[in-house]
Amino acid sequence: MPSSRQADERSAHVVVAFILDGEDWLAVNSPADRVPSHGTDRLGQRYAYDFIRTDRRPGRHYHPAGWLRTVLVGVPTRDCFGWGAAVLAPFPGMVVQALDGVEERSRVFPLRESLLALWNALTFTPARLPAILGNHVVMERDGLFAAFAHLAPGSVSVQPGEEVGQGAIIGRVGHTGNSTTPHLHFQLMDRADPLTAQGIPCAFEAYDVWRNGRWQRVSAGIPGKSDRIRAVAAPDSAP
């Protein structure tokens, strides 16, 4: 049973547009399943999401290879299903931070990535924040800040001070920084600096979830790790 605090937090969420293109996304870390979603309040992560893209095989296959091959020899980063997917602005606003140029690991080795993430957590210092976030963007509207981390190198398409519209492409999903596989880390905060920010509860205005063999519309929803979701289809798209 969720605590009364968690129930209050969920009822106070800010609703923004969904921030990924395409379908078959899973929120492998989500405030729908636990708060704090990443096990910590640090860096404004209390209500953060991690989205990966998978195929329809049982489990969470983020690459065409089977798990045995993935674990033993690793897989090419750019062949992962989510890599390079467009990341979209959740509201109209101004870009306040944008970092590109962080190198990306060319292959995903699950054990190495997990150990690296653990090491980064244990040895974290403020000076290493860019190495944790990888290529990232922070944008703002009326005191609400949205942060996107682990973007692909060379994909950040906005600059600080730039005004962007809702749905504008700000970058693409990558595997930079403290990343275990190509994915998007997304969170809302009350200030631009994750070192001092508090997380803000977030829901998405509209998306489709795969249930009972078909896509069903969800409004003002908080996707959980068992929800296979997609961006809202255009009116003339097939169901």
Cα–Cα distances (Å) from 192 to 10, 89, 177, 197, in that order, read: 22, 16, 19, 7
CB distance 19 to 223 below 8 Å: no
DSSP per residue, the chain: ---HHHHHHHHTPEEE---B-SEEEEEEE-TTT-SSTTS--GGG-TT-EEEEE--SSSS---SSS-HHHHHHH-EEGGGSTTTT-EEE-SSSEEEEEEE------SEE-HHHHHHHHHHHHHT--GGGHHHHH-EEEEEEETTEEEEEEEEPTT-----TT-EE-TT-EEEEBB--SS-SSSBEEEEEESSS-TTT--EE-EEEEEEEEEETTEEEEEEEE---TT-EEEPPPPTTS--
Q: Please report, for the chain, the start and end positions of each structural domain, with discontinuous segments joined by +.
A: 21-201
pTM comes to 0.91
Residue 7 pLDDT > 50, yes or no? no
Residue 33 pLDDT > 60, yes or no? yes
pLDDT in tens, 47-99: 999 999 999 998 899 999 998 888 888 999 999 999 999 999 999 999 999 99
pLDDT in tens, 108-141: 998 888 888 888 878 888 988 988 999 999 999 9
Token readout for 27 is: 């929120």
pLDDT in tens, 188-229: 999 999 999 999 999 999 999 999 999 999 999 999 999 999
pLDDT in tens, 149-197: 999 999 999 999 999 999 999 999 999 999 999 999 999 999 999 999 9
CB distance 33 to 23 below 8 Å: no
Higher per-residue pLDDT: 234 or 106: 106
Higher per-residue pLDDT: 81 or 13: 81
The architecture (CATH level 2) of 21-201 comes to Distorted Sandwich (2.70)
Predicted confidence at residue 8, as pLDDT, reads 47
